[in-house]
Amino acid sequence: MSDDDDSGPVAQGREFTWTNQDFTRIKALIYKHAGINLHDGKHAMVYSRVSRRLRETGHSSFKAYLDALEQQHTGPEWQEFVNALTTNLTSFFRENHHFIELDKLIRSKPPTHEWKVWCSAASTGEEPYSIAITLADALGTEGRFRIFASDIDTKVLSTAARGVYKLDSIKGLSTAQMQKYFLKGKGANAGYARVKPELQRHIEFFTLNLIQDNWALKEQFDVVFCRNVMIYFDATTQRQVLARIHRVMKDQGTLFVGHAENFSDARTLFALRGKTVYEKV
C-alpha cells in the first residue's frame, strides 16, 4: 500500500457523476469488507479506481454499480472492488534494517531450527522473496524454512506467484544474490528475471483478509511481517488484528511493522525490541 493522497471532491465534468454520497457509501463498504479507513482526502483516488469497475461492468453510475454490488453479498465483483481500492507499493529489501535484524535472528538459533514466517501483506512478491533470500543466505536453499505469503488482493498475488520481475526492480540485490536466486530472461524475456524454483518452493501464496476472524492458518510462526498495513486501519481494527496475529505466533516470536506504525498501546501483546521490531509477550 502507498501513501498517495489528494483532497476534496472530484471536479465536475468527469465521465461519471460523483457525489459525496457515493464516496461515503464506498468508504463504508471498503471499511466493512477490508478494514480500510479512507479519509476525505481520497475522493479523486476512489473516483479513478472505482470508475474502472463501472466501465468493466457496464454501469452508468456509481449508485447503480454499488446497488448491484450489495445485492451480490459475495462473489467475484466484491474481490474486484477490494482489489481496486488496495494500493500496493513495495520493493525488494524495502526498510532493509528489518532484513538485517531477521538475519541476526536466524543465525542466533541452531541451523536445524525449522523457521516458519508469515508475510501478511505479500503484494506483488518482493517482500516474501526478500524474506526467502535472507533465510536462504543464512541457511542455504535446502534449509529448513517455510514462508506463508498472503494478501487480500488476488491480482498482486498472481504476480507474486509468477515470480517474474524487471531487472531494474532487483538491481538492489548483490551480484551473488542475483546469480544464486534468479534466472535472467533471454530473447523475448530480455530485461526480466525469474525467481529460481529452489527458492520459490519455500513460499506458499494465498488470499487472506486480515479483518476477518477466520484465518485459515494452522501454523505457529516464529516471525510475522505486517508492514505498512495497519496505517489503513482505525485503532479498533488495529487492536483486533494485532490480537489475531498474537494468537498465531510462537512465544517470543518477532513482529516486523512499518516505519509509520507504533503499537505502544498494545503492550499486553507486544514489546518493542528495536526500530519497528516487536516481540510477542
Catalytic annotation, residues: 49, 151
* Local structure of 241: helix, strand or coil: helix
Residue found by looking up cell 488496495 in the block: 86
Classify residue 91 as exposed, middle or buried by CB count within 10 Å of its CB (0-12, 13-18, 19+): middle
Q: How many CB atoms lie within 10 A of CB 28?
A: 12
HSE of 233, CA atoms in CB hemisphere, 13 A = 23
- DSSP type of residue 271: E
Report CA torsion sign: 244, 249, 250, 252: negative
CB contact at 8 A, 45 and 23: no
All three cell numbers of 261: 506504525
